[in-house]
Structure 1
Amino acid sequence: MKLSVKEKLGYSLGDTASHFVWDLVGFWLLIFYTDIYGLTPYLAGVIMFVGSIWDAVMDPIVGVISDRTNTRWGKFRPYLLFGAVPYAILAVLAFTTPDFTMSGKFAYAMITCLLLRTAYAFVNLPYSSLSAVMTDDSNERASLNTYRFISAYIGQFIVTGAALYLVSFFGALGQQGDSVNQAQGYQITVMLFGVLSVIFFLITFFTTKERVPEPKKQDNNVLTDFKYLFMNKAWIVLTIVGIVSFIMFAMQNAAIAYYFKYYIADAENVQLFNIVGTVALIVALPASKPLAKRFGNKKVYIMSSVLSGIFFALIYVAGDNLWLVYTFNVLAKMAYAPAVPLLWTMLADVADYGEWKFNRRTTGLCFSASVLAQKLGWAIGAAAASWILGVTHFVANADVQSDSAMLGIRLLVSVIPGVLYASCALVMIFYGLDAQTMEEMKQELADRRVETEND
């Protein structure tokens, strides 16, 4: 099933919408909690960790519900229509700073964080699952996900490049002299990105179509869904890769602001660093589809993990030499860029594999459980970053940090994420869906659907 450029672009804007809000959470919520709202690193880490437990409950529920949703708009598209506005509102509340006691602040931050995670699940999980039912062609899925992640990183580019400037601009409104109310700045900035997210999700809803049906005789037994999901070895491999890689992403994203503020002693430089890294990703992403067609999804992912892991680790060797820091980061981002859309392409293929092997299609559960693993990895990584800061005796807003705190910050953006991401290559060795299997699977599923339609 070939997709038009219009539909690919429309679909891709949904991930721009997700990044407009979720990148604010990933890059700045931790430092917002500690440096703006006044929570201790330990309490902030607890919130991140509890959020992962909450996701463990909510994400599979969303997957099961979406698999059983049947409307005139399809299974997954309705969630974009009805979930976008609550998602934006809760994002604003998460970056709001009511004047409570420390325990009150902790409770407020915990509640708003959990509600935001819930809203994100009800929008982003169906959005991710949508790519698997728009087409059954693996190459088209690779192309679709390339469009998706180019738009996603453009969203990240905008957020990481403009957010702190917008915080300063909006934070200065109504203030005297050169003073800046950062809490106000964050809140208005999130409002702006929240509105844009709603608009983009609606564009995705109106420009996409669901085409791949589930088997007509499939029952609604939830336990059976989970039974066959955990019998799907390819899904297990991708889930482990998702956990490990997102621990890496979260650690580095959470620590990078600390790295530039305290080690490089130039907090504003993080903006340019993030911009350059995102540009490197966008430039290298189009290589994903041709590399996959030439070498296969599995081989490309393995080489990407190894090379990017090495380059990330070399950031530690660069010390405070900004030219080398930027160079190694650009090389790392370009090395792992082709693997980004391939992970989601392979997840769609894994959903097909479940239908082919067990005659049971659970697209929503397959994606939601994998995204749960990724979010669990993200939460573990963010919490671990916070706890490592605590263990190494980091002191928020101190003019001088201890040597142990500096070491912890440096490791969090270089060696630790480098080793973690390179280890994904070892896991991917066990991924069994090669090109020959995929072609056989595609043809048999097409024949089954024709037979079902003729019955």
Structure 2
Amino acid sequence: MSELKTVRATHPARYAVGMFGTSIPINVIKGSMMYFYVDILGLDGAIYATVYAIYGIIDALDNPLFGYVSDRTRTRWGRRKPYLITGALVLMLSMIALFWVPANIVASKGVGLVIWFAVFAILSEASDSLINANYGALLPELFPQEKRRALANSLRQGFQLVAMIIALGLTPILAQNVLGCEKGKPGCINPEQGYITLAIIYGITGAIIIIYMALGVHENPAIDKTERPRFFRSIQQIVTNKYFWTVGIVSACYAAGIGLILGGLQFYVKYSLQGTPLDSTILQVVVILASIGFLSVWTAVVRRKGAAWTWKIALPVCAVSFIPLFFASNLIGAIIAGLCVGIGYSGMLATNDLIFARILDDDARKSGVHREGLFLSAFGVLGRLNALLVALAIASLGWFFGYVSGDAPGAHPDLAWRFYMAIYPCALLLIGTMISRFITLPQGNTEEEDTEETGSYRSAITNADWE
């Protein structure tokens, strides 16, 4: 016990700030990669969709491996830290390369551009998976009591939303009006330069913050003495767990809906609203600020009514929140619609990861094995496969509306991006809502005392100084 008393508790804010570091690069990728390659570089939308589907499959397959290796790792620095630091550095370099495409490859618009996009998109997504498999697995371990866990989750989602203001909200105007120029405008010779500069800034910033968070995390040393998970046995038990399929599919529907919104917003503003990069910035900032404001409301509901009850309310609210985007015809209408999206989105931010954490707790209690990384990554397989749905949605714009790329937008690009931003996400969340009605979730830990397995460690650090 004397050894355990020297271990300090991880302050929720130190853990939560890591979400800022992970969110900066990945939201730039999700929010600008498609616009950058399809509209600015002129890559065919169908080719983009094909590559995106392939990288989604690869990313889904590597998730369980990352989680499994992390769960079995035993080092003097902990199970998760080495991978958080390595992933941060790889993500930084691959993200910069993703947007810094050599001029001769850009000019060719051929196989070289497709290969460059595929290699660095896959590497960026893989490194992001490595980071999040480890970062997400720390939440139930560091904060086993649900009310404190809800606080830590709320803080990290708040950091994520602040990062999204920068990565999503400010990127269009910074890339096209401040650090670069808007394609098609007189005198614009190199429209990709702004995105290259931002990729460097965001990549370095994200890596520094992730490493700072990782160095301040104090993992539970008692877990080092527990049984290491076996891969095939664990996979068998996970895929036969009822929560894997029910909660996993619901979460995948939510992730796919948000993925559509993040990737399509700049197109929506340009074609559906006839707006400017400044309009994209305004709309994204409004949505994110609304989400920050409503996040505290949803967190209060979670602390009062519990994560499971609140989650089942947040799903249908999120579904219907997308519909007003279809009817907006100008920036004012889109801002009003964006406020609605902020309400629904913040509800899912406040609850979805808490549902995962409950299931990880339940699995550890029943199996006696700590395999949070593997289980969370298995969930990630379903979540990452949402890339197939996003790819299908992108391809459908060509089939139904004639949109191919920025060089060939077709006759009705305005209607195409209204469907993409409103109808598709709503349909996905409604499917998730219907499935959620048949799910009975395990109880969360509402007591201050933790389970017997980790109780001695937690009691030893309860009164430790906060860092």
The counterpart of 2:452, out of the listed 441, 447, 451, is 447
- In structure 1, the residue matched to 2:100 is 96
Q: Which amino acid aligns with 1:70?
A: R
Matches within 5 A, 1:186-225: 186-211=195-220, 213-214=222-223, 216-225=225-234
Contact 2:8-2:218 within 8 A present in 1 as well: no
Would you say 1:406 and 2:406 are equivalent positions?
no
The counterpart of 2:158, out of the listed 147, 150, 158, is 150
Matches within 5 A, 1:22-171: 22-98=26-102, 99-100=104-105, 101=108, 102-168=110-176, 169-171=178-180
Higher RCO (C-alpha 8 Å, min separation 6): 2
Q: Greater shift after overlay, 419-428 or 48-57?
A: 419-428
Contact 2:273-2:414 within 8 A present in 1 as well: no
**TM-score w.r.t. structure 2 length?**
0.88
CA distance in 1, matches of 2:447, 2:228: 22
CA distance in 1, matches of 2:77, 2:438: 37
CA distance in 2, matches of 1:430, 1:420: 17
SS in 2 for 1:438: coil
Contact 1:301-1:425 within 8 A present in 2 as well: no
Instruction: Write the deviation string for residues 203-250 of structure 1: whole angstroms up to 9, x where unpaired.
Output: 211222112744845244211111221232223322111211111111
Would you say 1:426 and 2:431 are equivalent positions?
no
Matches within 5 A, 1:283-432: 283-316=293-326, 318-377=327-386, 379-391=387-399, 392-397=401-406, 401-403=410-412, 405-432=413-440
Once the two structures are TM-superposed, the CA of residue 452 in structure 1 deviates from its matched residue by 11
Contact 1:314-1:328 within 8 A present in 2 as well: yes
CA distance in 1, matches of 2:42, 2:444: 52
CA distance in 2, matches of 1:217, 1:266: 57
> CA distance change for structure 1 residues 261 and 223 in 2, over 3 Å: closer, same or farther?
same
SS in 2 for 1:166: helix
**TM-score w.r.t. structure 1 length?**
0.90
CA distance in 2, matches of 1:142, 1:417: 26
CA distance in 2, matches of 1:452, 1:210: 10
The counterpart of 1:16, out of the listed 2, 8, 20, is 20
Q: Greater shift after overlay, 241-250 or 368-377?
A: 368-377
**RMSD, aligned α-carbons:** 2.6
User: Alignment length, in residue pairs?
Assistant: 441
Once the two structures are TM-superposed, the CA of residue 23 in structure 1 deviates from its matched residue by 0.9
Once the two structures are TM-superposed, the CA of residue 398 in structure 1 deviates from its matched residue by 5.7
SS in 1 for 2:385: helix
Once the two structures are TM-superposed, the CA of residue 115 in structure 1 deviates from its matched residue by 1.4
Once the two structures are TM-superposed, the CA of residue 39 in structure 1 deviates from its matched residue by 1.2
Contact 1:52-1:376 within 8 A present in 2 as well: yes
Once the two structures are TM-superposed, the CA of residue 338 in structure 1 deviates from its matched residue by 2.6
* Identity over aligned pairs, percent: 20
Q: Greater shift after overlay, 21-30 or 306-315?
A: 306-315
CA distance in 2, matches of 1:43, 1:59: 25
Instruction: Write the deviation string for residues 357-381 of structure 1: whole angstroms up to 9, x where unpaired.
Output: 222221001111222322221x124
Q: Which amino acid aligns with 1:210?
A: E
CA distance in 2, matches of 1:47, 1:280: 34
CA distance in 2, matches of 1:224, 1:431: 25
